[in-house]
Every structure is written in C-alpha cells, then in structure tokens.
Amino acid sequence: SFSIFGISLLGAPCAAVGLVYLILASRFLIKDRKQGVESLVKNPREYTVALSVEEKSPIVGDTIQEAGLRHLKGLFLVELTRKDGERIPAPNHETKIAAGDILLFAGVVQTVTELYHIPGLVPATAETNKIQMERHKRRLVEVVISPSSHMVGVSIRESKFRTHYQAAIIAVHRHGERVTEKIGDIVLRPGDTLLVECGEEFVERFSHNHNFALISEVSGSQPPRSDLLHMLIAAGLAITMVIVATVGWMNLLTTALLAMFLMILTGCMTWNHAAGAISLPVLLTIACSFGISEALQASGAAQQLADFIVDVFSFSRVGLLFGIYIGTALLSSVITNNAAVALMFPIVADPTTGIIYTQKLNPYAALYTMMLAGSASFSTPIGYQTNLMVHGPGGYTFNDWVIFGIPLQILLCVVGVVLAFYIFPSP
C-alpha cells in the first residue's frame, strides 16, 4: 500500500534541489522578457474599473506595495480618491490605503479578475450594492450591445440596466478604447462592450436577448467567499481528509468524495462549483490512456518496451530505475503526465511481464520513480498543465524550455533515482 505522503521521501529533496537550480540558473539561462505581458495587453479589451476599500478590508493601513497592488500584470492604478474627495493621480508605492478610498484601475479584463480576489475590494458603483444577491455568488460577464438594442442612444442611468437584468455595469469598452466617463453618464452605442457584475444565471437567461449581440462569462471572476464560518468548515474538512487518508482509515478516493459532499451540504460550495472543477478533457485523456495501456498489453507491445528497457539498462537495478524514469519522462514530454504514467504502468507493474516482477525490483522504488518522472516534466511547454499556464504570459519560447528544462530534468532524474534506490532497496 502507498501512503499519501510516501512520495515526499523523494519529492521533498527533489523540490529543494530544483529550487536551488531555479535560483542559480535562471539568471543565466533565461532571458529577461517583457513581451509576454505586453502581448497580453496589446490588443484585448481594456476597461477602467473603480473599486472601493471596505471598512474591514485587511489592506486598510497598508501601502500600495504592501497590499499587492503595485505590480499587477496588465493593470495600472490610475488614481486614488480619498473619502473626503482628495484625488491622488498615479499614487506611488508608499501611498497608504484607507477605508473608503476609491481605487481607479485601467487594464484588461483577464487581469481585472485578480482584483476581485483581493478581500475588501468591491466595485465602487452604487448599483452593485442594490443587487439582491450575496457577493460570493456573483461573477463578471462581458456583454456586447447589439445595433437593435433599445439601450442604444440612452445613458446607462436611464437604461435602468440593474432593474431589468439584476446586474450592474461596472465598466465600458468602446472600439479599442477605455471609456473613462462616469458610469451612469455614458451613452451606449452599438458594439459597446459592457463589463457587468451579475449572478450565475445571467448568461443562460439573456444569451438570446435581442439587446445583446454576445454574452461571455469572464473565467475565474467569482469573488471568494469571505465569511469565517465557512472558511473554518472548509479548512477543517480538508485537514480531516488528509489525516484520515494518511492514517489509512479510508482510501483517498472515498475520503475526498466524502469531504466534497460535506462541503456541499454545509454550503461551502454548490453543486455547480463542484461540477465546474471537473476537467472533462483530462478525464477523457486518462480514460483513453487506459484503453491504450490495455492495447499495449494485449498486443505484446508492453512486453517489447519492457524488454527494450531491460536490455538497454540491465547493467544494474539502479540502471533499470533510470530506464523507467527516462521512458516515463520522454512520454510525459509529448503527452499529458496522466497518460504517460497510465501507459508506463503495465510496462513497470504488470504481474506477468512487468519490470518489477521479472527483475525483482522494489515496487516502491519503481513506482515512485515513475510517479516522479511523470510529474517532473520541464523540457516542453506541453509536458504539464502549469507549463502551458506560464508559457504565454511569461513570453517564453520553445527553446527556453529546452535550454532551461532539460538540465533540470536530468538533475532531478539523478537525484530521484539515487534516492529511490537507497531508500527502497531491492531484495
């Protein structure tokens, strides 16, 4: 049996070695690039958004820099307006934040959502306060005004948008430019893109409304829940889940499912949130990889691959571990890590033809090596989900991954395999 933290015997040292490598090698192997952020904000829709600092906000009394508002990618703090009306254009990083301050940001919608995850920052427009809905149930949606809309030629205040749609307009984008007028005074035109705060049912209810040419929800825009009771319940359930799985009272799958149902029952999240967290492409990839694994076994290809690894790396048992690592790492560089491990599993652990049984390897050493190789994929941007997440915004090229990632992968291969060999010796 495998404990939930068993892999940490290899993972923790590898993480430490990898961190040292990142600190020492990044300044020499990775060029300083700014075009990633610049390309992010070059063409997309930009908005001017005013946010108010609530009385109990944790950033009250902090400076702009301490509050984390100094270097938000794709966002610029244009102005700070005090409660007494004092206006501070382009406040510097040492400016103190006070309750009731209005912070005016300019930036692209993809990064405006970051502001929604800062506790105590809420839209400054009074219309949002009139929406009859808890804040954590709201999200941001982009709405394009159609040419036939009855709102064309009417100011936002006169359109009574909140009354008709139970949603509040917090910013407007027009033909490649930010609209900086006061929200209520903006006269709407065909093609205007409105950034709207609304409930989760808005898109479904009004997707075919003749007033809107297009409606699109902004991904990740739902504000976090901030009430202490549900925070404590969620944290308690998560900690209990880890403890129960670690002690071995229940298997990890059962424990995780039970914790999920309890979080839904206690109101920490909804069924929609739970369903939205499921990545269908990942599940389909894993399911398909199991089918391919069966085909490898049935056709004899798994046996051939296992024999090849044994023939090439048969000089010692540590050599076989290197073969397992390299084979898994190569697969993980071109397909997802889940699929790579699923394909390698029968080659390593099949009861009749697997390397563990034919070569009498320690199962922990072999399977932990395979797990580590499947996750430590740094040589291509497609090797792991987080690689793709940083590839575009970071402005990295494919060569960056090769130049920086391959040495790191070789380093972790050596460290991981040597540790597995000595911590889990074979009989």
Q: Would you state the pLDDT for residue 394?
A: 62
How far apart, in whole angstroms, are the C-alpha atoms of residue 42 and residue 69?
Answer: 21
As a whole-number percent, the residues of the chain with pLDDT over 70 amount to: 81
- The residue among 156, 161, 160 whose CA lies nearest residue 186 is 156
Task: Identify the pLDDT of residue 70.
Answer: 75
Give the pLDDT band of residue 290 (cuts 50, 70, 90): low
Judged against a pLDDT cut of 90, whether residue 414 lies above it is answered with yes
pLDDT at 420: 92
Span 270-283, average pLDDT: 70
The mean pLDDT value of the chain amounts to: 79
pLDDT at 37: 41
| Rounded percentage of the chain residues whose pLDDT exceeds 90 | 10
pLDDT, tens digit (0-9, with 9 covering 90-100), for 353-398: 778 887 888 889 989 999 998 888 888 776 666 676 566 556 677 7
pLDDT confidence tier of residue 36, bands split at 50, 70 and 90: very low
User: Is the separation of the CB atoms in 317 and 426 below 8 Å?
Assistant: yes
- In the structure, what pLDDT confidence band is assigned to residue 346 with cuts at 50, 70 and 90? confident
Higher pLDDT among residues 316 and 382, named by residue:
316
Q: What is the pTM of this model?
A: 0.51
In order, the DSSP letters of 309-376 are: HHHHHTT-HHHHHHHHHHHHHHHHHHS-HHHHHHHHHHHHH-TTT-HHHHTT--HHHHHHHHHHHHH-
Q: Is the pLDDT of residue 73 over 90?
A: no
Helix (H, G, I), strand (E, B) or coil at 336: coil
Is residue 221's pLDDT more than 60? yes
The structural domains of the chain, ordered by start, are 8-32+280-423 (no CATH), 43-217 (3.30.70.1450), 228-267 (no CATH)
Query: In this predicted model, what pLDDT tens digit does every residue of 387-404 receive, in sequence order?
Result: 765 665 566 777 888 888
Straight-line distance from the first to the last Cα atom of the chain, in angstroms, rounded to the nearest whole number: 18
The predicted model gives 224-233 an average pLDDT of: 75
Mind listing the pLDDT tens digit for each residue in 186-208?
899 888 888 888 887 888 888 88
Q: What's the distance, CA 218 to chain centroid? A: 14
Residue 35 pLDDT greater than 50, yes or no: no
